[in-house]
A = this chain, B = another copy of it.
Amino acid sequence: MFKLLKKSKKSNARLGKLKTEHGVIETPCFMPIATCGSVKSIDSVEMEKLGANIILGNTYHLYLRPGDKLIKKFSGLHNFMNWQKPILTDSGGYQVFSLAKMRKITEKGVSFQSHIDGSRHLLTPEKSIEIQRNLGSDIIMVLDECAPYPSTKKYIKESLEMTTRWAGRCKDYFEKIQSIKHKSQTKHKKDVTLSLSKSGRLTNHSILRQAQDDNSLLFGIVQGGTYKDLRERSAKQLLELNFDGYAIGGVSVGEPSEKMLRVIDWTAPFLPEDKPRYLMGVGKPEEVVMSVAKGIDMFDCVIPTRNARHGTIYKFKVESKKLKVTEKCNKNFYEILHITNEKFKTDKKPIDKNCKCFTCQNYSRAYLRHLFVSNELLALRLASIHNVYFYLELMKRIRNSV
């Protein structure tokens, strides 16, 4: 599924192609976040025009609202939101830990109360896989515990061991479904869907399904906090389970940027070269560049859209289609405009005269500033479009340079 095309001679950066049921993704890549089935304020047609090749959907949010079973009725999230390119879904774990109330972690899974209506739920590794399959995800993530920062070494160790056991259960469940579906398809010459009964047993509904559902990829998630030996331990345990790709989790949880980068140093060497590596929830443009230089292939982050909604706009300083991909921190290739600043009041220039995004092609800084100051909804969308374009262009420049 993943093809390593090139390794940089100057760093650990790699170029690759990741094949999924909904298309091929060139790596390194950035995945804009469509939390509830829409990249906030941007429609799916526009996302495609912006050049996004993969987006991320949040399992926790979609499970609670509108519900994975409803989305399944639409043959998955792709059809529901009218996005026909690849989708990666997270496991739901991160949001259970950051948003839900009254959560309780046991070996079985994590029980929690919905932040929306207080309803009680139990998310097990198997349940997470089932939800993500209902969503029709191209890339499914295992359920992990994303431990808070800072945590004691003892806590992190016990947590990562459980995360490994959960990863194993995810893999087992994922393979069981694939195998039953395969057998059933062979026997009945048609597709089969499986769902988890309340008792936890698999039930077999032989109804017609789109074949594409069968080839989703399953990624493991390395944990281990900011402890070198625990990262190695987690990575090695997960490798034994043989996933389609490996994520580095438990980062971007409040630790300093330097620690996050050390975590990559402590993890990436243990990950197989022929599998994609996904750094979860990172990050600022310079962090993305440094992480690529350390061998990361995939990123997701709320920064471009969330910052856009606060009037924080990213802009390249140079027109060059390349940039230096090194492990050294370099923020010089871009700048940040706080668009509500008084100095933009009469600024007739677009955000970036070299930018090809819809916003820069049509509107001035002064107009965008005015929309923000006047609390006009359009402000949020125009800024989001530009920032997402910036991140996608950043990845293009990185790929051009590796």
Which A residues contact B (CB, under 8 angstroms)? 36-38, 40-45, 61, 65-66, 70, 73-74, 80-82, 345-346, 348, 358, 362-364, 366-367, 370-371, 373-374, 376-378, 380-382
Residue from the list B43, B358, B382 in contact with A362, Cβ < 8 A: B43
Chain B residues with CB under 8 Å of A81's CB are 367
Establish whether residues A45 and B346, one from each chain, have CB atoms under 8 Å apart when the complex forms. Answer: no
CA gap between A40 and B374 in the complex, in Å: 11
Establish whether residues A382 and B36, one from each chain, have CB atoms under 8 Å apart when the complex forms. Answer: no
Establish whether residues A43 and B377, one from each chain, have CB atoms under 8 Å apart when the complex forms. Answer: no
Establish whether residues A70 and B346, one from each chain, have CB atoms under 8 Å apart when the complex forms. Answer: yes
- Least CB distance, A283 to chain B, in whole angstroms: 24
Give the number of copies in the complex. Answer: 2
- Least CB distance, A78 to chain B, in whole angstroms: 12
Establish whether residues A82 and B370, one from each chain, have CB atoms under 8 Å apart when the complex forms. Answer: no
CA gap between A382 and B376 in the complex, in Å: 16
What are 10 of the A-B contact pairs (CB < 8 Å)?
Answer: A36-B371, A38-B371, A40-B376, A42-B378, A65-B370, A66-B366, A74-B348, A82-B367, A377-B377, A377-B380
Among A38, A363, A366, A380, find the residue whose CB has the most chain B CB atoms closer than 10 A. A38
Establish whether residues B380 and A345, one from each chain, have CB atoms under 8 Å apart when the complex forms. Answer: no
Establish whether residues A373 and B82, one from each chain, have CB atoms under 8 Å apart when the complex forms. Answer: no
Chain B residues with CB under 8 Å of A44's CB are 362
Among A37, A70, A370, find the residue whose CB has the most chain B CB atoms closer than 10 A. A370
**In the complex, given contacts A70-B366, A81-B367, A381-B381, what are 11 additional A-B residue pairs having Cβ atoms less than 8 angstroms apart?**
A36-B376, A37-B370, A37-B374, A37-B376, A41-B378, A43-B378, A44-B362, A65-B370, A65-B373, A74-B364, A82-B367
CA gap between A373 and B36 in the complex, in Å: 10
8 tightest Cβ-Cβ pairs between the two chains A and B = A41-B377, A36-B374, A66-B370, A38-B378, A82-B362, A38-B376, A36-B376, A65-B374
What residue in chain B is nearest A38 (Cβ atoms)?
B378
Given contact pairs A36-B374, A377-B40, A45 touches B362 in the complex (Cβ within 8 A): yes
What residue in chain B is nearest A309 (Cβ atoms)?
B377
Chain B residues with CB under 8 Å of A80's CB are 364, 366-367, 370
- Least CB distance, A140 to chain B, in whole angstroms: 22
CA gap between A74 and B366 in the complex, in Å: 10
CA gap between A41 and B81 in the complex, in Å: 19
CA gap between A149 and B36 in the complex, in Å: 45
Chain B residues with CB under 8 Å of A370's CB are 36-37, 65-66, 80
